[in-house]
Structure 1
């Protein structure tokens, strides 16, 4: 890794490709949902249910990617180019092996996991097929996540965005071919959607490796794939394990809440899938700011510019919260025509509209978490936001979801109220932690 390969960037130049990437990355699931809605509402519910497990595997495979982005950015900020290169190689190797292990588990136990979660029997066949194909290829997703993290850590966010664009185009084409069956192609439904997703990701991984070598200047020699320097592994795990615990706790929370929603019936499951897909567009901007925060604050911490880091994080939160609220308002105003893209069922349109109204309260609180959580992690204060997150999810979100949604019969509305309270409480706590500047004395790893 040479000095001239280090990408210089402004906030806007860094953030807008991440914003596009977040939307395009989620468009895979949305494209699957829209096209499957023409095939069968049960297929939509089956895929949506299975995706709770898929998202859990993605978060597990993301265990090292947060640490990768932070450490690569910190070393570049401190001009430690050789260490940045070694961190990238170790992360790619470790995550590939981990993704392969997860894939084997899901191939063997897909149906068992779905039954444990209480999936309705009429959805079992489609859900099992989808989970075995998508989950079984988790190592492909692990590679995509890790290589993307390395490239973003160097500031080449635009190149990652281009790859994700191509992946989504291939995925949509594949969906169309296998769902609608033009030119005599067999209609494979859920199985076809899963195959199209995996094939498009494989192509994306190949292109990302080309960018890694040609643009970033990183190489991953085959002779060193199983060579893991203790110092780098320790540094990655020091950040990755707490971050993965945070992500795993969130996804486990979503699995439990999905079980609650399953008790409410197929209509509730389907409505939640549609509303969640729409919400992706509302959260994309604050999500981009959150990821941009991780890179920018890491660079400034590496360069020991603590005051700049503090001021920038406060400014980014204000921007993220304001835009999230504005976009949420826009989507609520046009909620009915947007929901009609997915379905014409009156009960889904009414309930989905109410959920989008609740995003006006939910999204500003979520902006707290995205910006200040990532700021604290970038500054080395890893364990505190993880602890706050776990306590918030399991002492606020899950209990409120059950009490209001199931016990008092508010259904999905009660579940989403739990999300709102959780996001606001956690966000406010993390903001106060950042303002205390306790993180100044925290160290992720030495600069040596």
Structure 2
């Protein structure tokens, strides 16, 4: 909702170049925060396993260590984003017509990344405890705030893309304060106490052991998406705007799938701690059914309403055409991505972060880079960029199914059959 609201309001009140400027930073933002998202996954797995085992002390240590890691990462990533935004956007072949606005948006956005990182870690802890309603409420409040501020800063004050970035930072700060505030006052094993915030060595090692593979995986996949974005950029600002508009719609399809994947990670972690393998299998199959059904339905809906939905972002027919082209290659095949991520989430919840990392690195990164270098030159249109996504999803899904079926990913003593 944050970035969708930004893009709709920017597209309508600033124009196609403004929309392209906001969209050009999406892949870079994902790249910058990818490491912290991996750390949040690692913390969530450790917290969920300790909760499942009813170990109050270890749950407490995990929560405090995780939040310290988030604060440190947030400071570092914000600084990296602000300092290197221009260099990265130039390297991505961002057209000169939108470079200035792209740099401005990305630098301001990155200035508030620390709030995003801390919020994600707080959410990881709450989700690990099965308390996913709180993050939803806080994000809803922040999203509404973001929309209101977008209208004030962009429409009323005419701040352009700068206003969109400032509105997002303020909204993310609000969600961060609300989530951390709840952790400070909740009466539970995962309650945070300010004076006890410190990094506990053994707990940090556990979080890193599970989270580092996911962090590396996220960063490398995000890097491959940066390369894909660079390929899109080479087709000009109109293609960038169309692709940027579609990526916001893409979020309404892919993010629920990733949420189901994170939920099954928590579910698996708790049942590993409780030594209940039968529930792990049931949880995995239920998650797969939900993921496939959702992606098929939403894919059909998006395709049938493509022109209307894209029209929310821009009235430029050429921009809409590029967005519709992306839809035709993406929407029918989201179920492949759903199966891939849900199986990876199940395995990750059992504490096995490396195998999913390797599979996702190959399918989402190495394969894509090879495609861009070898196959893409044979395409004269942007179709060669878009078709890469469903093919890489299929490759990853097949490999993940094989590992889940035949790999030894459950701890010793838990029967997978």
| Fold shared by both chains (TM-score > 0.5) | yes
1:439 match: 409
**Secondary structure of residue in 2 paired with 1:439:** coil
**Structure 1 ranges of 4+ moved more than 6 A:** none
1:30 match: 4
1:74 match: 49
- List alignment gaps of at least 5 residues for structure 2: none
Deviation at 1:299, TM superposition (A): 0.9
2:239 match: 268
Q: 1:107, 1:320 → 2: CA distance?
A: 36
Deviates more, 1:79-88 or 1:27-36: 79-88
Mapped pair 1:224 → 2:196: yes
Q: 1:216, 1:256 → 2: CA distance?
A: 46
- List alignment gaps of at least 5 residues for structure 1: 1-26, 444-448
Deviation at 1:406, TM superposition (A): 4.5
Aligned match for 1:135, one of 101, 110, 119: 110
Deviation at 1:437, TM superposition (A): 5.1
* Offset from partner CA, 1:404-435 (integer Å, 9 cap, x none): 54431131x22121111111111121122112
Q: 1:177, 1:422 → 2: CA distance?
A: 41
Deviation at 1:402, TM superposition (A): 5.2
Aligned match for 2:310, one of 317, 334, 339: 339
Q: 1:395, 1:203 → 2: CA distance?
A: 38
Q: 1:134, 1:70 → 2: CA distance?
A: 29
Aligned match for 2:33, one of 54, 58, 61: 58
Q: 1:221, 1:383 → 2: CA distance?
A: 32
Question: For residues 284 and 131 of structure 1, do their structure 2 counterparts lie closer, same or farther at Cα, with a shift above 3 Å needed?
Answer: closer
Deviation at 1:264, TM superposition (A): 1.1
Does structure 1 retain, via aligned residues, the 8 Å contact 2:45–2:349? yes
Does structure 2 retain, via aligned residues, the 8 Å contact 1:401–1:417? no
1:328 match: 299
Q: How many residues align?
A: 411
Does structure 1 retain, via aligned residues, the 8 Å contact 2:242–2:321? no
Mapped pair 1:309 → 2:280: yes
1:356 match: 327
Q: 2:283, 2:193 → 1: CA distance?
A: 38
Matches within 5 A, 1:44-443: 44-181=19-156, 186-215=157-186, 217=188, 218-225=190-197, 227-401=198-372, 403=374, 405-411=376-382, 413-436=383-406, 438-441=408-411
Q: CA RMSD in A?
A: 1.8
Deviation at 1:229, TM superposition (A): 1.6
Q: 2:345, 2:231 → 1: CA distance?
A: 30
Question: For residues 228 and 116 of structure 1, do their structure 2 counterparts lie closer, same or farther at Cα, with a shift above 3 Å needed?
Answer: same
Deviates more, 1:63-72 or 1:305-314: 305-314
Deviation at 1:403, TM superposition (A): 4.8
Does structure 1 retain, via aligned residues, the 8 Å contact 2:246–2:327? yes
1:4 match: none
Deviation at 1:161, TM superposition (A): 0.4
Q: 1:172, 1:132 → 2: CA distance?
A: 20
Q: 2:80, 2:251 → 1: CA distance?
A: 29
Does structure 1 retain, via aligned residues, the 8 Å contact 2:19–2:245? no
Q: 1:310, 1:436 → 2: CA distance?
A: 14
TM value normalised by structure 1:
0.87
Q: 2:320, 2:100 → 1: CA distance?
A: 27
Deviation at 1:75, TM superposition (A): 0.6
* Offset from partner CA, 1:5-33 (integer Å, 9 cap, x none): xxxxxxxxxxxxxxxxxxxxxx1000000
Deviation at 1:175, TM superposition (A): 0.5
Question: For residues 395 and 98 of structure 1, do their structure 2 counterparts lie closer, same or farther at Cα, with a shift above 3 Å needed?
Answer: closer
